[in-house]
Amino acid sequence: MKALFILPLIALLFACSSAPGDEDREDKQALLAQYKNDLSQLKKDIEKLEKELDEGKQEQTIKVVASTVEPRLYEHFVDISGKVEADKNIIISPETAGKIISIDVKEGERVRKGQVLARLNTEMTKRALAQVEINLQLATTTYERQADLWQQSIGSEMEYLQAKSNKEALQQQKEALLAQLDLAIIRAPIDGVVDDIIQKQGEMASPQQAFARLVNINQVYISADVSEIYLQAVNAGDRVAIEFPVINKNLEANIYRASSVIDPASRTFRVRINLNNNNNEIKPNMLAVLKLRTFKAENAIIVPSILVKKDFSGEFIFVTQETDGQLRAAKRYIKTGIKDNNNTLVTDGLTPGDQLITKGYAQVVDGAAIAI
């Protein structure tokens, strides 16, 4: 009887000790399931509202500027540094040695060809010449007498020939001394300007020592070294623009000569441009900048280099394109040729008449609505 009463009591105690924990867990699981259901519904509501907002939102239009692609002449130039030189820029030296007794010109003076620049001491030569002239007079008289006697068949032929030989030898000696006197006079070999008088009066001059510099820069030329990659593009007769930065002067001239020989050290070839310089404004050794044309194409499509962009697929630009009545930006891939700092030659991808976006291109993407 007691055993029957105790067993239900034990069962009741176990039930009382475990029930509260199980009920709490079940409540939490039920609450979690409710939250998840609410979250799912909330996401659906959010998506619905976003869709409604997108459908009601008006597409933004970007304002741009566009220009029509038109073919034109394209020329590519490179800048090359050159140096002014003069063929008639010479150093003058006397043809004989002697002391300088007079200098008859000043630096900066314009002289003519043959004009006396300076004279050397010729005292010894003059004395020798005077002695030879005296001897020549005697030899001439002797020869004339021997010739008269020989015509009269008086005297020997040997005496006549000796008199003639002595006279002719003295004549040649006189001519040599006169030439030596002439060598002692320093003359201008060309028309020009006395740029520099190197020696002074009283100094010893000689053929090995420079006396003065004489220049004529009425005709000058520019020489410049051009990279060998332009050997086939630069030829004699080509027109070239020339700038002289020091004197702020610009002019155009033709290439006189383009060398066909490549310098093995610099991998360049030389060009020469002759210039008239009657006002002597251009000076030897002055720096000149040559603008050489290395490429020319007729009816070429040229776009500003700043408009050309690049991605993993290649180079592209933006053009205008109408789609379903709406003007949009279209990404157009192109192939390019020669480029410089300002322009790019387009060889494929553009045709005349295309509308190229020239302003606002940085704000558009492919397919963006635009207004010109």
> Digits of tens for pLDDT over the chain (372 positions)?
444 444 444 444 444 444 455 677 887 888 888 888 888 888 888 888 877 666 555 568 889 999 999 999 888 889 999 999 988 888 999 988 888 999 999 998 989 999 999 998 888 878 888 888 888 888 888 878 777 777 777 777 787 788 888 888 888 888 887 877 788 889 999 888 898 999 999 998 889 999 999 988 889 999 999 999 999 889 999 999 999 999 999 999 999 999 989 999 999 999 999 999 988 899 999 999 999 988 888 889 999 999 999 989 899 999 999 888 889 999 999 999 888 768 899 999 999 999 999 998 888 898 888 888
Q: Return the pLDDT at 21.
A: 58
CB proximity list for 90: less than 8 A, separation 6 or greater = 189, 190, 213, 214, 215
Q: Return the pLDDT at 296.
A: 86
List 172's β-bridge partners, or say none.
none
Residue 220 tokens, joined: 């000058």
Q: Return the pLDDT at 12.
A: 44
CA 152, chain centre distance (Å): 86
CA distance 20 to 180: 144
Angle at 111 between CA 105 and CA 112, to 5 degrees: 135
Other Cβ atoms within 10 Å of 103 Cβ, number:
19
Q: Return the pLDDT at 7.
A: 43
Nearest to 359 by CA among 59, 60, 63, 61: 63
Q: Return the pLDDT at 67.
A: 92
Question: Which residue in this structure is represented by tokens 């030296």?
Answer: 93
**Cβ pair 355, 74 in contact under 8 A:** no
Q: Return the pLDDT at 145.
A: 78
Nearest to 117 by CA among 194, 65, 35: 194
CA distance 205 to 321: 85
Torsion sign over Cα 290, 291, 295, 297: negative
Q: Is 213 exposed, middle or buried (0-12, 13-18, 19+ CB in 10 A)?
A: middle
CA distance 180 to 176: 6
pTM over 0.85? The answer is no
Residue 222 tokens, joined: 């520019």
Question: Which residue in this structure is represented by tokens 């002239």?
Answer: 133
3-state secondary structure of 284: coil
Nearest to 244 by CA among 277, 288, 281, 284: 288
**Cβ pair 135, 170 in contact under 8 A:** yes
List 187's β-bridge partners, or say none.
116
CA distance 145 to 138: 11
Angle at 228 between CA 234 and CA 297, to 5 degrees: 40
List 293's β-bridge partners, or say none.
77
**Cβ pair 121, 102 in contact under 8 A:** no
What is residue 59's DSSP assignment? P
What is residue 368's DSSP assignment? -
